[in-house]
Amino acid sequence: MSPKAPIRVAITGAAGNIGYSLLWRIASGNCFGADQPIILQLLEIPQGMDRLQGVVMELVDSAFPLVHDIVATDDAKVAFDGVNQAFLVGSRPRGPGMDRSDLVAANGPIFVGQGQALNAVAADDVRIIVVGNPCNTNALIAQRNAPDIPAERFTAMTRLDHNRAIGQLALKGGATPADVEGVIVWGNHSNTMYPDVSKATVKGASVVDTFDADWLASEFHNTVATRGGAIIKARGASSAASAANAALDHMRDWWTGTNGKPVSMAVPSKGWYDIPEGLMYSVPTICHADGTLEVITDWELDDAAKAKVKASADELLKEKAAVADLV
């Protein structure tokens, strides 16, 4: 068999902490497979370029057989030129006194520019995950500024919440993560996200039937929703390797398919579950091996679940309103 042609993989915020974790996972073949050569196209802000050069040096020093070339740039049109897979990781962090609307507004121009650049120069088959927060609305902004790219190629990451929910169920159930199935996170990647265990199982047993209902309603939900802050407190730094891992899981599943099983991905709503059309909203999504994403549209939601799904959609509508001129 002749070797595969390299694919072009862009990572923004490549010298940041999530980027630093993500790059080695991608370069080792852990996302696109051990037989898939790649060209890494790394974007940083001008002030990050020295640090990025150091990261590139370390990538060279890793002698990855799959890495055919490395591009390091502060120009989005160079980073996205011909790109097949794009990880939009970089974003402006929340500063002192900023509320969520301020954060959304501060990130708007970045994702306008990146959407336009993707629209101009990305490959026809480009697939995009937005990791940089507020990721759902950042993804919406980028998507709206890339009219020539099919909307469903833009996604945002709720896989970290999804994985956190699996991790907590495995711990509580004395099981391994491989024993946990059927968890779905709905909504915005924020504390309004809804970790839905209604169809989840641990070692084949229904979570709803076998776990303590109070624990599920309170501690489980709170642990997943506030995990980011707890990590910062313990580690002295925000989640990086686990965030990178979630981005990898998301893109790997999209690349290889999920064998008919749903995972949590924020995708442009088509109005399912009364989620306003166009919002980037996390729903149960099956990845097919041909790269298409199939949203499960008949998932049963009880009234309490419907209220949570609506609350997260309402939050996303507010975020959208804060950047109305950009979308």
Active site members: 189
Among 73, 84, 192, 239, binds its own copies (CB under 8 A): 239
Q: Taking CB under 8 A as the rule, does residue 53 contact its own copies?
A: yes
Q: Which is nearer to its own copies, 231 or 301 (CB)?
A: 231
AA identity, residue 20 = Y
Task: Locate 21 and state its tokens.
Answer: 């974790």
Least Cβ distance, residue 304 to its own copies (angstroms)? 25
What contacts 117, CB < 8 A, 6 or more positions away? 76, 77, 79, 80
| CA distances in angstroms from 303 to 5, 10, 135, 153, 209, listed in the order given | 50, 41, 27, 31, 19
What contacts 278, CB < 8 A, 6 or more positions away? 140, 151, 268, 269
Q: Taking CB under 8 A as the rule, does residue 203 contact its own copies?
A: no
Site string for its own copies, 131-160 (x = CB under 8 A): -----------------------------x
Site string for its own copies, 175-194 (x = CB under 8 A): -xxx-x--------------
Among 30, 36, 101, 256, binds its own copies (CB under 8 A): 30
Phi-psi region of 257 (alpha: psi -120 to 50; beta: other; left: phi over 0): left
Q: Taking CB under 8 A as the rule, does residue 55 contact its own copies?
A: yes
Among 7, 11, 18, 67, binds its own copies (CB under 8 A): 67
- Please say whether the beta carbons of 186 and 196 come within 8 A: yes
Strand order in the sheet with 127-130: 67-73, 38-43, 7-12, 85-88, 127-130, 154-156, 262-268, 280-287, 293-295
Q: Which residues bind its own copies (CB under 8 A)?
A: 15, 20-21, 23-25, 28, 30, 37, 50-51, 53-55, 57-68, 160, 163-164, 166-168, 170-171, 176-178, 180, 227, 230-231, 233-237, 239-242, 244-246
